Structure 1
Amino acid sequence: MSEPSSPAIERAAAPRSAAQAAPKRARNSAKTKAAILAAGRVEFADRGFEGARVDAIAERAGANKRLLYHYFGNKEELYSAVLLDAYQEIRRGERALSLDQFDPIEAMDRLVRFTFRHFLANPWFTKLLSTENVENARFLKMLPDIPALHSPLVGQIRTILERGHEAGVFRRDVDPIQLYISIAGLGYFYVSNMATLSVIFEKDLASVSMVQEREAQAVAMVLDYLRTKPR
């Protein structure tokens, strides 16, 4: 017959059990939030803000709707969180490029390719941006983190342009914001209009060969522009 456990042992074991449970709850919480954000991306991208349903997002995420409201408050706050997460993701990818280690031409080449491929790999992103433009950026205006997210990107592009000018390979009169808008536009337009353009020109723009051709065209256009001397 085994001896009963002593109260001292039980008391000593209790804190360890609680400590072990806390990280598990934290992990589950992070996993649930991530699943809700991913489901929100799809729902908001496919149906827009007005057409999206919280019930559908919760079901797609495999989460209890009460948890969704607990973590994100309401539909508006969830949409704002999805929007912020989308911008944070592309900014993380840009930082991971570590462009400062490359010469100016190579750095700009890599930035153009990354931006093009990000839109291509994440078609939901173009849809989400279209939704927010339909909303006249009313949710984006209320996100305090957005300026801080984009400022480093503009600074990085400005540095690449300055290094390129000093090396004698880039023109001087290039606005980094205008340049980035052009870079983003080359990828955004292609992806967001892929279906209609494929029909109009009777070409499968989603084919590997067409995508590769378009990416090379985007890089060439940006680099040729940067090398062009103003009249």
Structure 2
Amino acid sequence: MNQTKIKRDPEGTRRRILLAAAEEFANGGLFGARVDQIARRAETNERMLYYYFGSKEQLFTAVLEHAFGALNEAERALDLGGLAPVEAITRLAHFVWDYYRDHPDLLRLVNNENLHEARYMQKSTRIHEMISPIIATLGSILARGEAAGLFRNNVDPLRLYVTLSGMGYYIVSNRYTLNATLGRDFSTSAERGEIIQLNTEMLLAFLMRK
């Protein structure tokens, strides 16, 4: 690509590097991803990569920030205030599970960062500032359901969110090993539909007053 054009479009170049790096890091992790391959995918050179991001590690942190920023934006777009508590909690859960299905690269990045004991996330001021709006949304739904006599009392929204997250995370993150060990592909639409129905029934069985 013409270097003059690159210099005239710094934001475009930066974005191409970020997107190329996200794919490389998701596939190979921090140590498996190659800077030259990232630059090639981004149609630029390694010098520009270091110019915009400083180092491979800083680029990895920027990719994490971008991935969590996209999740944060999607969470903020949720509008569940006008729904009855049972429908609202169901839609929120389905949002989480669908987001993981549609963004498997996020889970691969998270898996890789867990191998590093969240070293790079802890260095990020941006991620620290991204207070997940879905926790507050979940807390509001739980409070409305409890006030209406529908939900059990004193359900901690953060613990429930972690549980919901795990219910959707596992079958996406482990879909290949599940298929290899159990002989069933949980990524098919039919299997996924059955799992979502099961998870939804388990969620409501826990929340609903007897």
Relative to the length of structure 2, the TM-score reads 0.90
What's the counterpart of residue 188 of structure 2?
A: 207
Contact 2:75-2:133 at 8 Å conserved across structures = no
2:168 equivalent among 187, 195, 198: 187
Which runs of 5 or more residues in structure 2 are unaligned?
none
- Rounded to whole Å, the distance in 2 between the matches of 1:173 and 1:136 is 31
**1:219 match:** 200
- Say if 1:44 and 1:52, in contact at 8 Å, map to a contact too: yes
Residue 200 and residue 101 in structure 1: after superposition, are their counterparts in 2 closer, same or farther (change >3 A)? same
Supply the RMSD in Å over aligned alpha carbons. Answer: 1.9
Aligned partner letter, 1:161: L
CA separation of 1:53/1:26 partners in 2, compared to 1, >3 Å: closer, same or farther? closer
User: Deviation string for 1:87-137 (max 9, x for gaps)?
Assistant: 111111111121223222222111111111111111111110000000000
AA in 2 matched with 1:185: G
Aligned residues: 206
Q: 2:24 aligns with which of 34, 43, 47?
A: 43
Aligned pair partner of 1:102 in 69, 83, 94: 83
Preserved contact between residue 112 and residue 218 of structure 1 (Cα < 8 Å): no
Report % sequence identity: 39
Equivalent of 2:68, from 79, 82, 87? Answer: 87
Ranges in structure 1 where 5+ consecutive residues have no aligned partner:
1-23
Q: CA deviation at 1:192?
A: 0.9
Structure 1 segment 144-163 matched on structure 2, within 5 A: 144-163=125-144
After TM superposition, give the deviation of residue 153 of structure 1 in Å. 2.6
The one-letter code matched in structure 1 to 2:75 is E
**Following the alignment from structure 2 to structure 1, what is the Cα–Cα distance between the partners of residues 154 and 101?**
30
TM-score, normalised by the number of residues in structure 1: 0.82
| Preserved contact between residue 171 and residue 228 of structure 1 (Cα < 8 Å) | yes
- 2:155 partner SS: coil
Deviation of the 1:214 alpha carbon = 1.3
User: What is the CA-CA distance between 1:28 and the residue it aligns to?
Assistant: 2.7
Please state if 1:175 is matched with 2:161: no
Runs ≥4 in structure 1, deviation > 6 angstroms? 24-27
Shift of residue 204, structure 1, vs aligned partner: 2.1
- The one-letter code matched in structure 2 to 1:223 is L
Residue of 40, 58, 82 corresponding to 1:77: 58
By how many angstroms is 1:33 displaced?
Answer: 1.9
